Structure 1
């Protein structure tokens, strides 16, 4: 189990009301640790932070996609109109339909898109881009699509091998993610190495070129990639966040209680220590009361020392 340390404070109406604990690892271009807080070696589930590695595994299986579609394959999209149109076109290109998607029906992840949705659908589920790309990979290889989420399916075997190679460590466990795809357990250090290995690849290029497709309007990945040229990042459920700079420095974050609101201030704090300036807008997340800001979430001074 990861042993967390206090990282950010929650201040409401001028008074501290609590702390978020977590673990952080930052590595240099050679993979050596620049910073390690908590336990960077304990197995954890990166959740959707591993989607770029899954996309890389599909490329190794022969999948060829335009850069925008590749970004969507690595996404947890908001379900906005542009996301859904692109997923639909990807499916149609390979003679597939929404019914072929193995992800469960869900409402869009983005708030505005969710308010405009009438019923849960498979295509509006935030992982539908990844699933559409997985199905396309099966089609081009002549693999069956009905059981493409089975961990023993050749597609998933190839993706697991890619994850192991990028992480530089064996998988600690394979479970099932919320979207139904295999879910791999690796360490925070392994996750940082994954992003280090992807930053100068076609997947990294696609994410940099199309940050909105990776996430959506006002989402964390979109905001961070827009603010730091050349950076790639990907959130994961349960308080996971990973990113890499174009020079190969990379970081991975896990919030102990699974909350998402502490991720961006921690990421901004890490980047500030790495010499990236101009991230003041990302360094604090508002705390709302009655729909209005009544406080903020911010890095504890010295937390990353």
Structure 2
């Protein structure tokens, strides 16, 4: 390696560090970004540390407490059985601790939402960059596939598919696979547009003229320049994936009992909303807060990475 090449590499590393510090500084000055980041961090910590957190109350989401219910399955006491031992009350009919259900439900929902998003982003990025950069017949074929995927009744297909899979098959990984495989067309279309513009830029044309291989150009020049777009789109896709899992569980074809899930808990709570409204409030508030936080943080991240915002 020559001294000139080493100097260029050092400058590139220094520029990336400076850009990262600038991005963090912009986000730190945005109160909405800070609030949403804190909210996301709290839910992630709750999902990771669900065991020690629920151990504080001495409860888990699987133990029945029939002594906390009346003869009709209603929780005894105020607010659906809220007490020092059961912070969010208990579940009707079973008496399971609702706080534990919400905390463990965060683990299920965030695992499925984030994992499905990563799978969709991986597929969409590969398809978008390759079709946009290479073009030709490959681009035409992939564009038609994306058009078909956009018009496909995904939710109906997911409901039918989840209803027929074997009961002994682990649901969370299967839901990740199914949702992820149907969630990539949107990001593929966005990345393709970026790749189409980048392949006409002078530095890409110059690399081609110098004989650089296509794989090296795609990985070394095109991909880094669409990285910011991919990061922003990823942060905006996650809440949609979480909502998709919640919708499937709400309809009874998602995560199966006794695995805690916000969507299934909300679906069960609908039947008790008149007599035990807190059973719906807590899981519904958790789902609302985490999806709102990801959306707000994605918007803030997009504004921070947009040079037009800095000029304004």
- TM, length-normalised to structure 2: 0.26
Could you tell me the TM-score, scaled by structure 1's length?
A: 0.27
Structure in which a larger fraction of residues adopt helix: 2
Bigger Rg, which one: 2
**Greater fraction strand:** 1
